[in-house]
Structure 1
Amino acid sequence: MDTSTSRIIESSEYSEELGQLPIERINVAQAELFQAGIASRYFERLRKEAPVHYCADSMFGPYWSITKHEDIEAVELDTATYSSELANGGVTIASHPNEPDFLPAFISMDPPRHTQQRRVIAPAFSPERMEVLAGPIRAWSIEILEGLPIGEPFDWVDRVSIELTARTLALLLGFPQERSRDLIRWSEAMVAMVGTEAFPTIADKLRVMKECFDAFDDIWEERRRSPADADLISMLATQPATRNMPRSELHGNILLLIVGGNDTTRNSITGSVVAFDRFPSELKKLRNDLALIGNLTPEILRWQTPALHMRRTATCDTVLKGQRIAKGDKVVLWYLSGNRDEDVFERADQFMIDRPNARRHLALGVGIHRCVGARLADLQIRTLWEEILKRFPRIEVLQEPERTRSTFIHGYPALKVSIAERYRDRS
């Protein structure tokens, strides 16, 4: 690791140090930078000076950083040149086919297998299915918000973001609602970096993952015998393309569905509270024009960017923006940087509820790997805020948000807030 950028230091020191670093020595793939909330400064310099940038030395080995919006799109859409296949490396900067905590799933497959498996679960996210899910999601949003304390601090992540996400994810998977919090615990284990206090060794992480897979092995066998109505496990267990998949692929797809269903929505819900607290004029704008709520999800996904990156591996020697990328090279698509690209998004660091091109965000990917659950994420975020706007004049963030220590998840472990008052006689 480049020790010149690996310390947690004050923001002003980071700025001075970054300005003095030769461009070839920049290594943005450091969890400390994202935890401190300053990685965007590194991306800004890379976009200006080296939008296709090679880092020769990092804890993840050598890698290319792709930081401009148009280049990220180009790589995502060229699935022949840039592979997602786990056998070639997978979809994160850390993934490796020989590591036991990385398993095959349709997100880490190339066509045609990717297409076949994605097609199986796509009906679970159809407009018709969203109409069915809308009722429970609204009922849960109301119940959760009505139970919040007034005039005293509480953790928004635990009381709201996790609670709504866990219930929705359990419904989607056909998992027992009374155990829905297990899904969040398992998701956190799956994306955790080994060497942290929670997971000192890989064995600690694998122990929790096994608990998850054992639980879903039982559900899998039950659904094979007696499929339920429309849950994702029933779909996978009954369709020809997936019902006989190897157990490692089943576990990989379970991992994908849990992490995808948890982290994207959970951190976007929390990020929306941070955004409106930081930019109160945007909340006022929304209250004056409730039709703008249709733009809330795309803009919060752009501004928050819950998944920091996706990774591809070059299948052949190629050239991108004049840079020669060799077959087998690791190519990292930094979604957070693309969503801050000044050539696409005016005043990109600002949250703007009426941003006209917010839907050009890259937070859910593009092309064949665009997040299959995009409609569900929108339904949860939009419904929750429709109910918030009926109840609370303001949600105040009481201290600087705690950020996740990760190079993959851009989120908040906790967010201390308070609600001073509730609207009276509103429904």
Structure 2
Amino acid sequence: MDQCPFANLLDPDTYAEGMPYTRLKEIREAGPVVKIEDPISGTPYWAVTRIAEMDEVSKNPALFSSAERSAFPMEYDDAIVEMQRFTIINMDPPQHQKARRIVRNAFTPKRVESYAARFREHARLIVDAVARRGECEFVEEVAAELPLIAILELLGVPLQDRKQFFDWTNTMIFADDPDMATSMEEGQLAAMEVITYALDIAATHRRSPMDNITGALLDARLGGEPIPEEMFGWMFILILVGGNESTRTVIAQGMRLLMEHPAQLQYLVDNPEKIGNACEEILRYNTAFISMRRTAMADTELGGQPIKKGDKVILHYHAANHDEHVFGDDAMMFDITRAERMPDLYSHLRSFGIGQHFCIGSHLARLELNIMFEEIIPRLRNPRLQTDPKFVRSFFVNAMKEMHIAFDPEAEVPAA
């Protein structure tokens, strides 16, 4: 079928000016599962845009596989698919549960909460660095800092290397954006450099054991044996990207949304105890990861559509997070009070996925998001855009690459 009237959701140009809210609504209204052609890759796919069908796919890995071709929405050749087979996101049961068990203890709610005081200290220093200037480039100077510092600390990476990891992460994730990387090959090279760095950290751990995520991975056993070095390297990358880029994206997009809705921002200035609720709406409205892939392992039916064995199925988390069947007729509206009238909002979000691949770092992301906005909102007063924000050209991560803002400079506190 011809892709018209629907936009190709796997064309990075579709997102070059930000999330195409209206186009996504049109596809969602056409049905929960819509066939879309992809002339770029030549591989057509089924777009899943509502929560009920997304959950059906996500909770049935035997029928909708992550391992068969990769869970990433891009088209890879067989060599790349094979290379990525050690990535936990590309595993199906039972291997997936065994690998997930290795890292989950580092991300329990109790353990994550133990990081709060240190994260708060970092967040204050991040805001301190810009508050008196009255302007900043928000993405790199504010939004990127805490997620990167936090995940590097938890992985055992010295903070002096954080700029290198910031650049590597951009290169790996944003290979479709000419401002961020020149090619997919450059992205793959960056991944290899990160793996090499990770193996150096592994050698350090063997000499001097670390009590962090890296230590937990390296000390774990899979089938009675240490995890293979290649698996450790890919897990390292996944934790780095998942714990860094996704949270910085949500912080940056959340700040944009609050500036575009000044009355809602003022409500949070006046009611700071509501910031946690607002963060749930920020997570819903502009989720970090746009889409993931599954591959049908048998002929089946989904959302009234005939799915054939081998078909590519795209889970579009952003579209599902605006599903009117779940969030009501005002699902397209940004409303920080939504959680006050929908107390179980957090459980309806698909920002962290659902099912066996539910994001293991969701507690960490929520903690960082809450702490950053608790520090930003009272101090960066009357924030406003200086220029139009620049969005990353990507159908995978809903990121911003630049957002220059101005605000009322914070007065210097006289020394006591």
> 1:417 offset after TM fit, Å?
0.5
- Counterpart among 337, 342, 347 of residue 354 in structure 1: 337
Classify 1:134/1:240 alpha carbon distance in 2 versus 1 (closer, same or farther; 3 Å). Answer: same
Q: Is the 8 A contact 1:340 1:348 kept in 2?
A: yes
**SS in structure 2 opposite 1:313?**
strand
- Counterpart among 373, 378, 381 of residue 361 in structure 2: 373
The 1-side partners of 2:369 and 2:379 are apart by: 16
Any idea what the Cα deviations from partners look like across 1:18-72, whole Å, max 9, x if unmatched?
Answer: xxx446xx42221111112353222211111233111234323111111112111
Unmatched 5+ stretches in structure 2: none
**SS in structure 2 opposite 1:332?**
strand
- Counterpart among 245, 249, 257 of residue 239 in structure 2: 257
Classify 1:277/1:199 alpha carbon distance in 2 versus 1 (closer, same or farther; 3 Å). Answer: closer
The reply to whether residue 342 of structure 1 matches residue 335 of structure 2 is no
The count of residues paired between Structure 1 and Structure 2 equals 404
The reply to whether residue 28 of structure 1 matches residue 33 of structure 2 is no
The 1-side partners of 2:362 and 2:237 are apart by: 18
Which residue number corresponds to residue 411 of structure 1?
399
Q: Is the 8 A contact 1:90 1:97 kept in 2?
A: no
Any idea what the Cα deviations from partners look like across 1:176-219, whole Å, max 9, x if unmatched?
Answer: 11112222222112212258355434443333222211111111
Unmatched 5+ stretches in structure 1: 6-20
Give the letter aligned to residue 365 of structure 1. G
Q: Give the 4+ runs in structure 1 shifted more than 6 A.
A: 423-426
**Identity percentage over the alignment?**
28
The reply to whether residue 186 of structure 1 matches residue 168 of structure 2 is yes
Any idea what the Cα deviations from partners look like across 1:85-109, whole Å, max 9, x if unmatched?
Answer: 1xx1111221536244862311111
Classify 1:223/1:246 alpha carbon distance in 2 versus 1 (closer, same or farther; 3 Å). Answer: same
Classify 1:201/1:46 alpha carbon distance in 2 versus 1 (closer, same or farther; 3 Å). Answer: closer
Classify 1:225/1:366 alpha carbon distance in 2 versus 1 (closer, same or farther; 3 Å). Answer: same
The reply to whether residue 223 of structure 1 matches residue 205 of structure 2 is yes
**SS in structure 2 opposite 1:419?**
strand
Give the letter aligned to residue 90 of structure 1. S
Any idea what the Cα deviations from partners look like across 1:395-414, whole Å, max 9, x if unmatched?
Answer: 22222211110010101011
Which residue number corresponds to residue 296 of structure 1?
278
The 2-side partners of 1:116 and 1:236 are apart by: 12
Classify 1:399/1:199 alpha carbon distance in 2 versus 1 (closer, same or farther; 3 Å). Answer: closer
Q: Which has the higher contact order (CA 8 A, sep 6+)?
A: 2
> 1:249 offset after TM fit, Å?
2.1
Classify 1:374/1:421 alpha carbon distance in 2 versus 1 (closer, same or farther; 3 Å). Answer: same
Which residue number corresponds to residue 320 of structure 1?
302
Q: Is the 8 A contact 1:227 1:238 kept in 2?
A: no
Classify 1:181/1:195 alpha carbon distance in 2 versus 1 (closer, same or farther; 3 Å). Answer: closer
- Counterpart among 175, 179, 203 of residue 157 in structure 2: 175
- Counterpart among 75, 88, 98 of residue 78 in structure 2: 98
Classify 1:39/1:224 alpha carbon distance in 2 versus 1 (closer, same or farther; 3 Å). Answer: same
Equivalence map 1:212-291=2 (5 Å): 212-229=194-211, 231-241=212-222, 244-291=226-273
The reply to whether residue 127 of structure 1 matches residue 109 of structure 2 is yes
The 2-side partners of 1:74 and 1:227 are apart by: 42
Give the letter aligned to residue 388 of structure 1. I
Classify 1:72/1:292 alpha carbon distance in 2 versus 1 (closer, same or farther; 3 Å). Answer: same
The 1-side partners of 2:172 and 2:79 are apart by: 13
> Structure 1 length as normaliser, TM-score?
0.88
Which residue number corresponds to residue 60 of structure 2?
78
Q: Is the 8 A contact 2:218 2:227 kept in 1?
A: no
The 2-side partners of 1:420 and 1:300 are apart by: 23
Give the letter aligned to residue 93 of structure 2. P
| Range with greater deviation from structure 2 (63-72 or 284-293) | 284-293
The 1-side partners of 2:324 and 2:113 are apart by: 37
Q: Is the 8 A contact 1:84 1:110 kept in 2?
A: yes
| Range with greater deviation from structure 2 (137-146 or 236-245) | 236-245
